[in-house]
């Protein structure tokens, strides 16, 4: 391989490695999970994995809608990829990032990127207020399946613990609802599950360095 081609290959490898490091959402566990490098959390790729389970107590026993307590019990029962510390997403209360807070509740409104559900909707999947996330053209949307209309947060509302936070993925609204109502559950966990679907970044960097060393000898 001549010096020009060798250098081009090495540059391409290092560019790919850098792009992988910078990527915000990365597929994990062979497509079963998605790691958010910005928040250092891992989402279950199936956004309606509770459907048809014994915890499904919505309008049917297969739609995936759950009361808040059932959503907590379901996510606590999960073991995916050997990890059993899955949970519901977190919502800060108050959430100062919200726009259009129309009530005394401290984390209600649009563009609420302080919460994990809001960050995923607006910052990672390119969501827009009042627009269904399924209309987003962000390619990262393809990393997930079965995205539903609205999701529970694992956070109770501080001013009224009969309510819990949640978020509409139809319009991008973060709001509270009664825990006895039903909504959907999306599992998340802290940290990276560690199984990369792409070639190892270190391996790519190693190949690049070997290439540069070879280039230097020619």
Cα 155 to Cα 166: distance, rounded to the nearest angstrom: 8
Confirm whether 34 is domain-assigned: no
Residues 116, 63: one domain?
Answer: yes
pTM attached to this predicted model: 0.81
Per DSSP bridges, beta strands 160-168 and 188-190 are unpaired
Q: Buried (b) or exposed (e) across 114-150, using 16+ Cβ within 10 A?
A: bbbbbbbbbebbbbeeeeebeebeeebbebbeebbeb
Confirm whether 14 is domain-assigned: yes
Residues 103, 137: one domain?
Answer: yes
pLDDT value of position 33: 98
Taking Cα atoms as reference points, which of 134, 137, 139, 127 lies closest to residue 173? 127
Range of the domain at 136: 41-190
Residues 150, 100: one domain?
Answer: yes
pLDDT digits (tens, 9 = 90+) for 32-52: 999 999 999 999 999 999 999
Residues 114, 20: one domain?
Answer: no
The most confident of the ranges 4-18, 60-74, 196-210 is 60-74
Domain total in the chain: 2
pLDDT digits (tens, 9 = 90+) for 109-126: 999 999 999 999 999 999
Cα 170 to Cα 150: distance, rounded to the nearest angstrom: 7
Residues 50, 88: one domain?
Answer: yes
Long-range contact set of residues 125-130: C-beta below 8 Å, sequence gap at least 24: 127/169, 127/172, 128/172, 129/99, 129/171, 129/172, 129/173, 130/171, 130/172
Confirm whether 62 is domain-assigned: yes
Residues 17-30 have a mean pLDDT of 73
Residues 175, 205: one domain?
Answer: no
Residues 201-214 have a mean pLDDT of 45
pLDDT digits (tens, 9 = 90+) for 189-205: 999 998 554 444 444 44
**What band does 165 get if pLDDT is binned at 50, 70 and 90?**
very high
Per DSSP bridges, beta strands 33-36 and 160-168 are unpaired
* CA distance readout (Å), 52 to 56, 60, 66, 139, 153: 6, 9, 11, 28, 20
**What band does 106 get if pLDDT is binned at 50, 70 and 90?**
confident
């Amino acid at each position: 391989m001549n010096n020009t081609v060798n250098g081009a290959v090495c540059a391409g490898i290092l560019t790919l490695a850098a792009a992988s490091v910078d990527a915000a959402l990365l597929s994990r566990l062979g497509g079963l999970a998605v790691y958010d490098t910005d928040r250092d959390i891992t989402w279950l790729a199936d956004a309606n994995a509770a459907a048809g389970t014994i915890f499904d107590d919505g309008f049917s026993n297969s739609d995936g809608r759950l009361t808040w307590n059932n959503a907590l019990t379901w996510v606590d029962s999960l073991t995916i990829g050997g990890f059993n510390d899955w949970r519901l997403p977190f919502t800060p209360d108050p959430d100062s990032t919200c726009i259009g807070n129309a009530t005394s509740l401290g984390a209600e409104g649009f563009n609420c990127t302080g919460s994990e559900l809001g960050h995923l909707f607006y910052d990672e999947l390119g969501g827009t207020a009042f627009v269904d996330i399924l209309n987003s053209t962000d390619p990262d949307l393809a990393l997930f399946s079965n995205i539903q209309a609205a999701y529970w947060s694992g956070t109770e509302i501080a001013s009224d613990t009969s309510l819990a936070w949640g978020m509409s993925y139809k319009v991008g609204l973060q709001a509270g609802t009664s825990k006895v109502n039903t909504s959907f559950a999306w599992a998340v966990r802290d940290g990276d599950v560690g199984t990369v679907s792409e070639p190892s970044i270190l391996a790519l960097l190693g190949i690049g360095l070997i290439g540069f060393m070879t280039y230097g000898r020619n």
